[in-house]
Amino acid sequence: MENVNVLISGASVGGPALAYFLNRYGFNVTVVERAPHLRPGGQAIDVRAAALDVVEQMGVLDEMRRLRTDIRGMSIVDASGKELYRTTEHTFTGGVIANSDVEILRDDLCSLIYEAGGDGIEYLFDDSITSITQDEHTTRVTFENRAPRDFDIVVGADGLHSNVRRLVFGPESQFIHHLGGSYMGVFTAPNFLDLDHWQVYHQNEGAGGIIMSVRDDTELRVYAGFFAEEPLDYDYRDLAAQKRIIADRLANAGWEFPNALKYMWDAPDFHFDSASQIRMDSWSRGSVVLLGDAGYCGSPLSGQGTSMALIGAYVLAGELKAAGGDHVAAFAAYEKELRGFIERNQDIALANVEERSARAEALADRSEAEIAQEMGEQGDHERFRDVVTSYSLKSY
């Protein structure tokens, strides 16, 4: 497939994973990324079941396990810091601790996949696609900072707010579905709480979140979230405005959030977004195809975004290999193989939203301690288990 040129937009998880496999299969691969380098920060993410097989085939499973967050448990506290609930059996971010899943920081996983790709993959950092024009034989792509180029296949692996999806399929509003009014900002802070492989949850009147220690307790990742009755109108590229939204919404959150937010203003890795899904009737149009969150974001409420991206990358690369680079046949096979699995994963998030709403109504008149106990014991720790383990990778 040395004459098949593939452009991938996005250098988070799915894009570099797809680049890895396509490069091994003999495709000429270029990855374009708007950021000047791999983006730092992000949530602690989970790699589960068949996705573990994907990273094992990439040769990074052992290193990924070495870099896992290794959280020992979690607490729920009130506004004064009094502990209301404690467990060493599960966490809010990773679910049940005693299983084969790997919880790792998003940027650590991205670095592993990028480095595994090697020198055979061309990366164009600090650039973005401005137009995509398809004809019978080639796809012409123009860039913000580089000369136009022709490709045989273009892949949008550029996230919830995909630029490729917008250019080829239409406005984001056609495909995005907001779930339960949840918004969250994530950033790094020093471990001013002296947490020891631990995470703490606090919420007050719909605002709060999780603070957890990472990287052998040298840092904290702060999850600062809130609920909004109506979708917010904000510029997803205006980080300063997003930080102001978090500061305003969490002004009365209590516990240590006022101190944590002091580190938000200068955090180089701040990320903010809604809990939303992308649902589409088709993931491809002509020679353009979508991967991961760009085509089928499950939202953080599914707990499966990273695993879906990794599995999607493996399957898309495998079907392109099996079809000898014929994108029409490959895209059809990719969708046939994955759509049922993706929809079941997305349904996990919908069920979680319904359960959380019902739980909030049931707990309306309970004490803070009773609410904490119920939240801790009835978390969504295993809802995804049957869906995740039901899928096995094809061999290509």
**pLDDT > 90 fraction of the chain, expressed in percent and rounded:** 76
Name the pTM for this structure.
0.94
Q: Kindly tell me if the per-residue pLDDT of 356 is higher than 70.
A: no
2 pLDDT more than 80: no
pLDDT interval class at 358 (50, 70, 90): low
Using an 8 Å Cβ cutoff, are 292 and 13 in contact?
yes
| Contact criterion met (CB below 8 Å) for 159 and 278 | no
Domain extent listing, the chain: 5-70+102-175+277-361+383-389, 180-275+365-377
pLDDT for the residue numbered 264: 97
The band of 360, judged by pLDDT with boundaries at 50, 70 and 90, is: low
Tens digit of pLDDT for each residue in 7-37?
999 999 999 999 999 999 999 999 999 999 9
279-310, pLDDT tens digit by residue? 999 999 999 999 999 999 998 888 889 999 99
What span, in angstroms and rounded, lies between the C-alpha atoms of 220 and 191? 5
Fold of 5-70+102-175+277-361+383-389: FAD/NAD(P)-binding domain (3.50.50)
Kindly report the number of other CB atoms within 10 A of residue 360's CB atom: 13
| Whole-angstrom distance, CA of residue 213 vs CA of residue 210 | 10
